[in-house]
């Protein structure tokens, strides 16, 4: 009996990617020189599982490649090889290559054979240097190395056809194709045909990238070596194929036969590569979110338990339906049953919600690698601090926040943190610090990216903004307004576009992405001291524990987490400041009283504090006392956004639907605190005077 193993392929990919993540983070943890055996073992095991799995599924390219990695790791494990920084770097790169291979295979796309063979070569070099590698590996590789150059034949043909396809970044390496063409022209008669089909629309066009490829025909008595010399400097930054064009008279038949075959295959390869590239880009875009979720068995067990209880409650309640007569004792039992049902429902709801919630460490875990790579590339010394990794947020939100976060972190590293020398000059420690922090605040999750770099340069921002017409000269902007300009479309603070940031995606895209999640992003910066980007995201689908309060004829919901206490006060326990600002003395604190009916413009039931209650709430370290008519029950409510069909309203964080189908608004305590600061307090002299008189 044969088993269809393809059904396990998805699991294999998922596990392999997890294995790669483990390898990556362990490699970054590895202490060079004195590597922990356990760490190497972990990495080895991950590589080994990938190799085994890929062998089972017949993915020989992956299996062969992983085999080399495994051999290398095996030697490190046995202590036959030192763990060196270059080795770690090479292994890190190979993790990337492997990830690329697996992604390509999963999406059934072309493998990027260039980078694979390059990385394979790197690994082999490392292995052979210490001549501890197995000879079998070496031969494995050369056979799979597709990039081998056509053997140089001794015949000098009449002309050469050179297909020259520079990689996009080639111009940045300082190589100029025009100069190369001139060089070629010195060898013989040259004619160049360019292929401009890959040039993107003007909006997407990066002037420093190279999109053109060329077909060069070179006539004259030239050897292959001479041509190769011209391309020597760009070998790694382009794809190029040199083919002899042999005219019938001069070419011996044998030579033609030799060159004909590789010619065809190479030509094909070049073509497929060109078409594969855009396809890959498109595929990656859509594949950003994974459709499956890994849930710990605890959460599932909890869910099963709750459902079990629900079934018991249901059967208990079901008995009542069969009763002939309904007595008082039945009603008692029915009440009990309903209470139990309510509890079961709430637990079930919580368990289901918890399945979708993941700790933000899933997003954070990619940053050590990013920081490691970037700091190496830029020659900066950067320490990455992370806190609040356990903060849970909805899976969908987490997946979408990944890219904006990466951009902001790159930005902090590239533009924020200065070079070590500059830092020392400014009296800072050589080591720059990028701090990622996450915490819950109200119904939001806040993610902060703080760096202790140079901060935003207001003058430069303003100069740029004036140049691009965002502000006119003479406009006076506060620091906040100026800093906010960096989120405008088409605004890049970098003086020149660098490889790290400023590559097409600007801060405006970051803001747009965050807004599309219903969040906000803000920047606070102090020149010379660093910047903090705060992203505030709603916990979508979140359920809130709320206290229902009534004001006038309306019902509002106060998030339970914000409530400090609820108290009944006498009018005379409240003091007036300047005849307007009411404060209540709670133990040794003076708390401003906010009359909700006034703030919301509702007809009050009573204006005297004696008739209602004060609900003391806290937000951002500040307390206010909300004057309400009465407290109703406590209830879990499903947050519904007001912005879906309306817009944000100050002082409200959303709405919910109560048991009777009516809409109740949820108070945004943070918003109320700031609203209280800005809005005028009611004139209370009349009321209090009246009170005194009475």
Partner 1 sequence: MSDMTQTIDTSDLMASGDGSHQYLTFMLAGEEYGVDILRVQEIKGWDSVTLIPNTPDYIRGVINLRGTIVPIIDMRTRFNLEQLEYGPTTVVIVLKVNNDDKSRTMGVVVDGVSDVYNMPEEDIKDSPDFGSAVDTDFVKGLATVNEKMVIVLDIDHMLSSNELTAVDSAAS
Comparing CB distances to partner 1, the nearer of 180 and 596 is 596
Q: Where in 542-561 is the site for partner 1 (CB under 8 A)? A: 554
Provide, rounded to whole angstroms, the least separation between the CB of residue 663 and partner 1.
4
The tokens of 628 are what? 């309400």
Q: Which stretch binds partner 1 (CB under 8 A): 428-436, 482-490, 572-580, 638-646?
A: 638-646
655 binds partner 1 (CB under 8 A): yes
CA angle 322, 327, 329 (to 5 degrees): 100
CA distance 362 to 359: 6
What six digits make up the tokens of 503? 């590559």
Among 33, 174, 474, 661, binds partner 1 (CB under 8 A): 661
Please say which residue, 144 or 636, places its beta carbon nearer to partner 1: 636
Q: In this chain, which stretch among 2-10, 49-57, 446-454, 663-671 interacts with partner 1, using CB under 8 A?
A: 663-671
Q: Which of 635, 456, 620 is nearest to 560 (CA)?
A: 635
Indicate left, alpha or beta for 73 from its phi (over 0: left) and psi (-120 to 50: alpha).
alpha
Among 558, 637, 665, 669, binds partner 1 (CB under 8 A): 665
Q: Using CB under 8 A, pick the residue from 33, 647, 659, 694 that binds partner 1.
A: 647
Closest to partner 1 by CB, 435 or 512: 512
Q: How many CB atoms lie within 10 A of CB 179?
A: 10
Q: Does 678 bind partner 1 (CB under 8 A)?
A: no
Minimum Å gap between C-beta 652 and partner 1 is 7
Check residue 677 for interaction with partner 1 (CB under 8 A). no
Residues of this chain, 602-621, that bind partner 1 according to CB under 8 A: 602
Residue 641 binds to partner 1 (criterion: CB under 8 A): yes
Q: Which CB, 70 or 629, lies closer to partner 1?
A: 629
Q: By 3-state DSSP, what share of the chain in percent is helix, strand and coil, each rounded to 5?
A: 50, 20, 30
Q: How far is the CB of 599 from partner 1 (least distance, A)?
A: 7
d(CA 93, CA 366): 15
Helix (H) or strand (E) holding 594: strand 589-595
Least Cβ distance, residue 397 to partner 1 (angstroms): 18
The runs of H, that is alpha helices, within 292-327 are 297-322
Q: Return the residue of 644, 685, 686, 690 that touches partner 1, per CB under 8 A.
A: 644
Q: How many CA atoms lie within 13 A of 531 on its CB side?
A: 27
Residue among 24, 547, 651, 681 that touches partner 1 (CB under 8 A): 651
Minimum CB distance to partner 1, residue 662 (Å): 6
Asked if residue 646 binds partner 1 (CB under 8 A), the reply is: yes
Total residues contacting partner 1 by CB under 8 A comes to: 23
Residue 137: both structure tokens together = 């590996």
Q: Extract the tokens encoding 242.
A: 């040199």
**Nearer of residues 58 and 661 to partner 1, judged by Cβ:** 661
Question: Does residue number 540 form part of the binding site for partner 1 (CB under 8 A)?
Answer: no
Which tokens sit at 594?
Answer: 């906010």
Q: How far is the CB of 640 from partner 1 (least distance, A)?
A: 5
Q: Per-residue DSSP letters for 71-117? A: HHHHHHHTTSS---HHHHHHHHHHHHHHHHHHHHHHTT----HHHHH
Residues 91, 73: Cα–Cα separation, whole Å:
9
Our finding on whether 517 is near partner 1 (CB under 8 A) is: no
Binding mask 558-597 for partner 1 (x = CB under 8 A): ----------------------------------------
Distance CA 596, CA 282 (A): 52
**659 part of the interface to partner 1, by CB under 8 A:** no
Task: For the CB of residue 477, give the shortest distance to partner 1 in the complex, in Å.
Answer: 20
Nearer to partner 1, 102 or 596 (CB): 596
| HEC-encoded secondary structure of 352-388 | HHHHHEEECHHHHCCHHHHHHHHHHHHCCCEEEEEEC
CB nearer to partner 1: give 203 or 292: 203
501 touches 524 (CB < 8 A): no
202 is a site residue for partner 1 (CB under 8 A): no
**DSSP string of 662-686, one letter each residue:** -EEEEE-HHHHHHHHHHSPPP--HH
**Would residue 666 be called left, alpha or beta, if left means φ above 0 and alpha means ψ between -120 and 50 degrees?**
beta
Nearer to partner 1, 50 or 594 (CB): 594
Per CB under 8 A, does 515 bind partner 1?
A: no
Residues binding partner 1 (CB under 8 A): 554, 599-602, 640-642, 644-647, 649-652, 655, 657, 661-665
């Amino acid at each position: 009996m044969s088993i269809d193993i393809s059904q396990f392929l998805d699991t294999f990919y998922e596990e392999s990617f997890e294995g790669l993540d483990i390898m990556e983070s362990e490699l970054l943890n590895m202490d060079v020189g004195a590597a922990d055996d356990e760490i190497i073992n972990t990495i080895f095991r991950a590589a080994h599982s990938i190799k085994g799995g890929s062998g089972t599924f017949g993915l020989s390219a992956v299996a062969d490649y992983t085999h080399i990695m495994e051999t290398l790791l095996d030697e490190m494990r046995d202590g036959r090889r030192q763990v060196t920084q270059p080795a770690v770097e090479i292994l890190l790169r190979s993790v990337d290559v492997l990830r690329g291979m697996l992604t390509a295979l999963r999406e059934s796309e072309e493998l990027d054979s260039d980078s694979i063979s390059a990385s394979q070569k790197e690994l082999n070099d490392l292995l052979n240097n210490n001549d501890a590698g197995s000879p079998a590996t070496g031969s494995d590789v050369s056979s799979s190395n597709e990039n081998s150059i056509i053997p140089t034949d001794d015949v000098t043909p009449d002309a050469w056809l050179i297909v020259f396809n520079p990689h996009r970044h080639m111009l940045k390496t300082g190589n100029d194709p025009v100069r190369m063409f001139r060089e070629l022209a010195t060898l013989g008669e040259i004619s160049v045909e360019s292929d401009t089909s890959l040039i993107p629309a003007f909006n997407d066009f990066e002037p420093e990238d190279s999109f053109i490829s060329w077909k060069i025909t070179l006539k004259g008595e030239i050897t292959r070596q001479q041509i190769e010399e011209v391309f020597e400097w760009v070998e790694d930054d382009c794809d190029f194929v040199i083919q002899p064009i042999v005219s019938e008279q001069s070419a011996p038949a044998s030579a033609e036969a030799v060159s004909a075959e590789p010619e065809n295959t190479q030509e094909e390869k070049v073509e497929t590569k060109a078409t594969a590239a855009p396809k890959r880009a498109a595929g990656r875009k859509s594949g950003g979110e994974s459709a499956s979720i890994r849930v710990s068995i605890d959460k599932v067990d909890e869910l099963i338990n709750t459902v079990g209880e629900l079934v018991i409650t249901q059967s208990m309640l079901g008995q009542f339906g069969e009763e002939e007569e309904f007595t008082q004792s039945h009603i008692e039992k029915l009440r009990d049953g309903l209470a139990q049902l309510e509890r079961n429902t709430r637990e079930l709801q919580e368990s289901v919600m918890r399945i979708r919630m993941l700790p933000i460490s899933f997003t954070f875990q990619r940053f050590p690698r990013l920081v490691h790579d970037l700091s190496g590339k830029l020659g900066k010394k950067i320490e990455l601090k992370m806190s609040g990794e356990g903060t849970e947020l909805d899976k969908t939100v987490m997946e979408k926040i990944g890219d904006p976060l990466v951009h902001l972190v790159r930005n902090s590293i590239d533009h924020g943190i200065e070079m070590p020398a500059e830092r020392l000059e400014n009296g800072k420690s050589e080591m720059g610090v990028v701090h990622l922090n996450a915490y819950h605040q109200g119904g939001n999750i806040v993610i902060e990216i703080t760096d202790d770099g140079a901060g935003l340069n207001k003058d430069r921002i303003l100069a740029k903004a004036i140049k691009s017409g965002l502000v006119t000269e003479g406009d006076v902007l506060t620091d906040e307004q100026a800093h906010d300009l960096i989120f405008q479309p088409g605004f890049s603070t970098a003086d020149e576009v660098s490889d790290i940031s400023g590559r097409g995606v600007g801060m405006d895209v970051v803001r747009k992405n965050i807004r599309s999640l219903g969040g906000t992003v803000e920047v606070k910066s102090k020149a010379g001291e660093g910047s903090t980007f705060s992203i505030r995201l709603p916990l979508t689908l979140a359920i809130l524990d709320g206290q229902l309060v009534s004001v006038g004829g309306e019902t509002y919901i106060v998030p339970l987490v914000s409530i400090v206490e609820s108290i009944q006060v006498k009018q005379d326990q409240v003091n007036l400041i300047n005849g307007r600002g009411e404060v209540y003395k709670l133990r040794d604190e003076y708390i401003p009283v906010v009359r909700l009916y006034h703030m919301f413009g509702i007809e009050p039931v009573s204006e005297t504090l004696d008739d209602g209650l004060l609900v003391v709430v806290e937000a951002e370290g500040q307390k206010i006392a909300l004057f309400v008519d009465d407290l109703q029950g406590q209830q879990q409510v499903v947050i519904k956004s007001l912005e879906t069909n309306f817009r944000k309203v100050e002082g409200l964080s959303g709405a919910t639907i109560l048991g009777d189908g009516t809409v109740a608004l949820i108070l945004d305590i943070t918003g109320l605190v700031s609203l209280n600061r800005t809005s005028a307090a009611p004139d209370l002299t009349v009321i209090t005077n009246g009170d005194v008189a009475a």
